Amino acid sequence: MADFQEQLIKYRKQKQKRELLNNFKSKIKKFWMLGTGEDQVQGKCQTSIDIKPIKTVYAESSKVNETIDEYVSSSEDDQLSEENLNTNVGNESKCLKYTLWTVYFLFWVTLYVIAIELKFGMVFLMLSALFGIYFNTRTGPKKSNEISAYSIFNKNCESIDGTLKAEQFENEIRYGFGSVR
C-alpha cells in the first residue's frame, strides 16, 4: 500500500509540473498574440482549472474509494459550471478578437502608407506577405487524433472525405454515371 501511495504522489508531482509548464507556455502565447491566441478545442473555448493535490496519507483502501467518489461527483458539478463559463467567455473573446484584428489592420495600413512615401512600398508588401504566410501555417507537431490531408500519413492510409482516389476514378470511368453502352 505504501508503494502505491508513493507512486501516486510521484505521479501528482509530475502532473503538477506539466500543468505549470503548460500554463507558462499559454501565458507566453497569449502575451505574444496580444490576447488573440485563444486555446480552442473543437470550436469551444478551453478553460483551465487548477486542482491542488491532496496531501493526505490514506490508511485504508476504503478511504481512497470514498475520496475518489467525492472527487468524481464534484467534477460533474465543475463541468456544468464550466459550460456556463464557456458561453460567456466565448462571446467576450470574439468581440476582443475582432477589435484587436481591426487595430492590427489599421496599424499595418499606416505602416504601408509610410513605406509608400519612403519608396519602400513593394518591399513592405512582399515582406508582409512572407510574414503572413509564416504566421498562418502550423509549425508545431500534429495532434495524435488529427487526420492528415495526405492519406499516406494516416493509419491504414485512410483518406479524408471528398478525396478523389484512383480506384474511385477508375470505377467511375468503367461503370460511370450516365455512361452509354
Report the 10 Å Cβ neighbour count for 77. 9
pLDDT of residue 133: 92
Task: Evaluate the CA torsion angle 136, 141, 146, 150 in order and state its sign.
Answer: positive
User: Could you report the average pLDDT of every consecutive run of 10 residues in the chain (181 residues)?
Assistant: 83 90 82 57 51 50 52 51 57 85 95 95 95 86 80 81 83 72 44
Phi, psi (deg, nearest 5) at residue 40: -125, 140
Give 41's strand partners. 44
Q: Tell me, what's the pLDDT at 123? A: 96
- pLDDT score recorded for residue 135: 85
Q: What is the pLDDT of residue 59?
A: 47
